[in-house]
Structure 1
Amino acid sequence: MSLFTPAKVGTLELPNRIVMSAMTRSRAPEVGVPAELTARYYAQRATAGLIVTGSVNISPEATGYLWTEGLDTPEQVAGWQQVGAAVHAAGGRIVAQLIHCGRVSHTSLQPSRALPPGITDAAAGAEVFALADDGTPGMVAASAPRALTTGEVEATVGDFVQAARNARGAGLDGVEIQGGNGFLVEQFLSAANTRSDRYGRGPVFLLEVVEAIAAALPGFPLGVKLTPGGVINGTVPPAGWREVFLRLLGELDNRDVAFVTLADQAAVGAPGGYDPEFAARARQAFGRTLVLGGGYSGESADEALRAGRADLISFGRPFVANPDLAARIRTGTPLAEPDPTTFYGGGAEGYTDYPTARAHPGGDSAPVG
């Protein structure tokens, strides 16, 4: 088995085992509506076996970063219809990563500039891309949150379900729940969760979301992204986090989850992360499609697949500057480096203007169509 062996994930037939990881690019300034530029960006990368969109807000309150897309208004759904149609026309498959950022947010991003909703009122100690006091965009300290009531948490489960319905209505091919990187789902799992209701520290919230989406949309491909051991956006893993996550993977294996993505924060230079022993145990705990991500090259990805450690491999930053990443890996063409100053915000520059590399001697390049 190699990166270019076809795969099946739920009802999805994939031509290869390359996953484009979710990456926030902040290119939706019109109240979270994906633009034609976004459709072009994803269509350019449609040779990935599976595209996972940048994190998509399930509600206005879920927003944690400026100019990110949503999936809760008719205008946003129409924008995602355009994106899905463009990817499908290019021969690709695309799932929406659904997110609630929780306390990793800022009052400038919240309706009526309210305090962000968190599991408790403890601040994240993180930075987010938002508006500073003078109205200029940039990285600012996340605002202190307010604690969600039990009823509000239950309503948030419903927001995830509605966003999944909207993703299917937009013609997208599935959804992935963002359960890592210190956002709301992982906040419930983390040491920061001191709640005394049924949503106290543990997987109850995530499992309710999974069960509710599966019940509402039977057969619609559903994935979950986790970052075991990660220390990001102010999240501290719970004591004994390895066993906590292995039990969670067993719970997910018993539910209608088509795939789980395990992103290794350490492999991309962030604190925390997991080791090969944990990854091997995770492989045993979750018997369906397992996606591994974090610092892979084409060679190391193939080796992981041949060894049976994963079914698919997720690539993030390489897709920014290499829309034809699959072809470059297949032919051994050197990868271009992205410009980090264009990661967040802006227009076509650093987003849709990276060239492809023609796979023949000389390395000629051509603009992406």
Structure 2
Amino acid sequence: MSSNSALLQPITLGQISLANRMVMAPLTRCRAGEGNVPTDLMVEYYRQRASAGLIISEATQIMPEGQGYPSTPGIHSAEQIAGWKKITSAVHAAGGKMVLQLWHVGRVSHSSFQPGGKLPVAPSAIAIAGEGRTADFSKAPYETPRALELAELPGIVATYVQAAKNAIEAGFDGVEIHAANGYLLDEFLRDGTNHRDDAYGGSLENRFRLIREVVEAVTAAVGADRTGIRISPLQPANGMSDSNPWSTFSYVVKELAAYPLAYLHVAGMGSDQPGAAGPHFDLNDLRPLWPGKLMVNYHYTQASGEAAIAEGHADAVAYGVPFIANPDLVNRIRLDAPWNEADASTFYGGDSKGYTDYPIYSG
């Protein structure tokens, strides 16, 4: 029995009280229905995992232009809000807590997702090398995005605010601003993707400006104690890079520390690929710069998650794939039970197979 595991101890993130420190990481599964509305199958999927101290929803687009993958849910229509309300009600009834991740993919999109077949938007007109997904799940070369005009940026911020308000209306306990993994806010932040020469480009202060404005506006609308943010300083995916990640992200963390956020979520993707997204640094070096609650994520086991908490590197640990395959992951840690292996072929799209049919540990 591991009932005394550091992962199983309660914690409070802002105004959200968690029964344990195990967080279900945001996981794109591409199973939303017509109109990108959450489905009853999604209700069951999240309900099964409500024993997590906190569930972070799959990334959820704040507007139609923010979509970049097929069958991903939104939070911008009445039908989507109603669909999510079924999910939050089920999670709460099972004793869980849940926040919604606010998402705009930026250039990681395709004209097949865009209203009127327009080009995706980004800070600068720089295409990602390689291929991405289209609206019918096929692959196509990434398109060169259209650089957002200065006059459009206040509208982007306002859309984040409305999406956050919609999430609270849908019953979520809070929101997580997605500023990671090469999506719009991350694209503005890193100099590999932001070549602007206006107030949103060039200096660190300018490249951070859009994130600052989103954080200020969202926290004013729904409360800093119900708002988290996710960053991925070393993530090379989606063509991301920065000339000095330590300088960029130490600045980001110090600036975000001025806001009493519920938590900072540092995703470790790229930490096992030194140099892939720019000069490498130890993500643990960010910990002393952050006075609030810190969440970590990426390939954590029970042992490494417990160590991260015990050594002061984190206050909570987000598990992704383990929660896909183990809806009862919390109880498996409590019982020292083996973990199911995930079927990667069922990660994206499909039905209940590899989604709601993973077995619960029976001893």
Structures share fold, TM-score greater than 0.5: yes
Are 2:223 and 1:222 aligned?
Answer: no
Q: 1:143, CA displacement in angstroms?
A: 2.1
d(CA) in 1 for partners of 2:8, 2:139: 39
d(CA) in 2 for partners of 1:275, 1:73: 41
Are 2:197 and 1:196 aligned?
Answer: yes
Contact kept in structure 1, 2:297 and 2:319, CA below 8 Å: yes
DSSP 3-state at the match of 1:356: coil
DSSP 3-state at the match of 1:120: coil
Instruction: Look up the match of 2:286.
Output: 282
Are 2:210 and 1:205 aligned?
Answer: yes
- After superposition, the Cα gap between the structure-2 partners of 1:256 and 1:126, relative to the gap in structure 1 and judged at 3 Å, is farther
AA paired with 1:138? S
Name the stretch that deviates more: 264-273 or 120-129: 264-273
Contact kept in structure 2, 1:262 and 1:291, CA below 8 Å: yes
- After superposition, the Cα gap between the structure-2 partners of 1:48 and 1:268, relative to the gap in structure 1 and judged at 3 Å, is farther
Instruction: Look up the match of 1:160.
Output: 160
Alignment of 1:138-157 (within 5 A): 138-157=138-157
Q: TM (normalized to structure 1)? A: 0.92
Contact kept in structure 2, 1:126 and 1:233, CA below 8 Å: no
AA paired with 1:313? V
DSSP 3-state at the match of 2:153: helix
Alignment of 1:310-349 (within 5 A): 310-349=314-353
**1:199-255: CA deviations, max 9, x gaps?**
114211101000001112235510110001211101112x22112101110111101
Aligned residue among 238, 260, 268 for 1:233: 238
d(CA) in 2 for partners of 1:275, 1:11: 36
AA paired with 1:294? Y
d(CA) in 1 for partners of 2:234, 2:336: 33
- After superposition, the Cα gap between the structure-2 partners of 1:31 and 1:270, relative to the gap in structure 1 and judged at 3 Å, is farther
Q: 1:267, CA displacement in angstroms?
A: 5.4
Instruction: Look up the match of 1:66.
Output: 70
Q: 1:126, CA displacement in angstroms?
A: 4.9
AA paired with 1:293? N
Q: 1:96, CA displacement in angstroms?
A: 0.4
**1:92-136: CA deviations, max 9, x gaps?**
0000001100000011111111111111111122543324xxxx4
- After superposition, the Cα gap between the structure-2 partners of 1:233 and 1:325, relative to the gap in structure 1 and judged at 3 Å, is same
Aligned residue among 69, 76, 89 for 2:80: 76
Name the stretch that deviates more: 50-59 or 250-259: 250-259
% same residue: 39
Are 2:43 and 1:20 aligned?
Answer: no
Name the stretch that deviates more: 280-289 or 215-224: 215-224
d(CA) in 1 for partners of 2:343, 2:228: 30
DSSP 3-state at the match of 1:357: coil
- In structure 2, stretches of 5+ residues that fail to align are none
Please list every run of at least 4 consecutive aligned residues from structure 1 whose deviation after the TM superposition is greater than 6 angstroms.
268-271, 273-277
Contact kept in structure 2, 1:225 and 1:261, CA below 8 Å: yes
Contact kept in structure 2, 1:24 and 1:344, CA below 8 Å: yes
DSSP 3-state at the match of 1:176: strand
Contact kept in structure 1, 2:100 and 2:174, CA below 8 Å: yes
d(CA) in 1 for partners of 2:177, 2:18: 20
AA paired with 1:216? A
AA paired with 1:119? P
d(CA) in 1 for partners of 2:141, 2:274: 18
Are 2:244 and 1:243 aligned?
Answer: no
Q: TM (normalized to structure 2)? A: 0.93
- After superposition, the Cα gap between the structure-2 partners of 1:273 and 1:75, relative to the gap in structure 1 and judged at 3 Å, is same
Are 2:98 and 1:105 aligned?
Answer: no
Contact kept in structure 1, 2:241 and 2:278, CA below 8 Å: no
d(CA) in 1 for partners of 2:352, 2:219: 37
Contact kept in structure 2, 1:127 and 1:233, CA below 8 Å: no
d(CA) in 1 for partners of 2:216, 2:337: 43
Instruction: Look up the match of 2:296.
Output: 292
Q: 1:280, CA displacement in angstroms?
A: 3.0
- After superposition, the Cα gap between the structure-2 partners of 1:339 and 1:182, relative to the gap in structure 1 and judged at 3 Å, is same
- In structure 1, stretches of 5+ residues that fail to align are 361-369
- After superposition, the Cα gap between the structure-2 partners of 1:285 and 1:121, relative to the gap in structure 1 and judged at 3 Å, is same
AA paired with 1:8? T
Contact kept in structure 1, 2:51 and 2:328, CA below 8 Å: yes
AA paired with 1:120? S
- After superposition, the Cα gap between the structure-2 partners of 1:247 and 1:203, relative to the gap in structure 1 and judged at 3 Å, is same
Contact kept in structure 2, 1:214 and 1:222, CA below 8 Å: yes
**1:260-295: CA deviations, max 9, x gaps?**
111111357797479996333211111101001111
- After superposition, the Cα gap between the structure-2 partners of 1:224 and 1:272, relative to the gap in structure 1 and judged at 3 Å, is farther
Contact kept in structure 2, 1:291 and 1:311, CA below 8 Å: yes
Name the stretch that deviates more: 168-177 or 194-203: 194-203
**1:322-362: CA deviations, max 9, x gaps?**
1111111222211111111111111111111111112x3xx
